């Protein structure tokens, strides 16, 4: 599997700096892996709305553009599962998402440097 190029890494770092929901959803999926999680579960765990989480993961028409979503960069995937007889879409990190976990550490370091100034 190929990793991200440096341009995409820069874009993702900027998204993580601007959108805490994207950053926290990515981190949450990393922490619960290999288990998959629904948007409702992620939203409840990070203190965000379900719509914001869906926007961060897949993009929506307002607020979170598809080209800024975690799925667009190949970091997150989704699939349907049946839970209690009802279809539910669940999310997990892709192998590339695990490979690029270092993006979070870079954002954390950038934020710490900015708060010192």
pLDDT tens-place string over residues 10-55: 999 999 999 999 999 999 999 999 999 999 999 999 999 999 999 9
pLDDT tens-place string over residues 103-114: 777 565 555 444
pLDDT tens-place string over residues 69-110: 999 999 999 999 998 899 999 999 999 998 888 777 756 555
Position 117 scores a pLDDT of 45
Cβ pair 44, 24 in contact under 8 A: no
The 3-state DSSP class for residue 1 equals coil
Nearest partner of 36 among 78, 5, 7, judged by Cα: 78
Position 113 scores a pLDDT of 46
Q: What gap in Å lies between CA 65 and CA 104, rounded to an integer?
A: 21
∠ CA 26-101-34, nearest 5°, is 65
Kindly give the pairing relationship between strand 76-83 and strand 37-38.
unpaired
Kindly give the pairing relationship between strand 76-83 and strand 86-93.
antiparallel
């Amino acid at each position: 599997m190929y990793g991200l190029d440096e341009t995409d890494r820069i874009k993702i770092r900027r998204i993580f700096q601007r959108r805490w929901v994207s950053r926290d959803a990515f981190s949450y999926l990393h922490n619960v892996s290999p288990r998959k999680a629904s948007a409702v579960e992620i939203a409840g765990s990070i203190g965000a709305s379900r719509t914001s989480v869906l926007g961060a993961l897949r993009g929506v028409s307002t607020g979170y553009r598809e080209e800024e979503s975690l799925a667009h960069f190949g970091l997150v995937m989704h699939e349907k599962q049946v839970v209690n007889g009802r279809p539910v879409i669940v999310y997990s990190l892709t192998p590339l998402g695990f490979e690029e976990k270092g993006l979070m550490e870079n954002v954390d370091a950038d934020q710490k440097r900015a708060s010192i100034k």
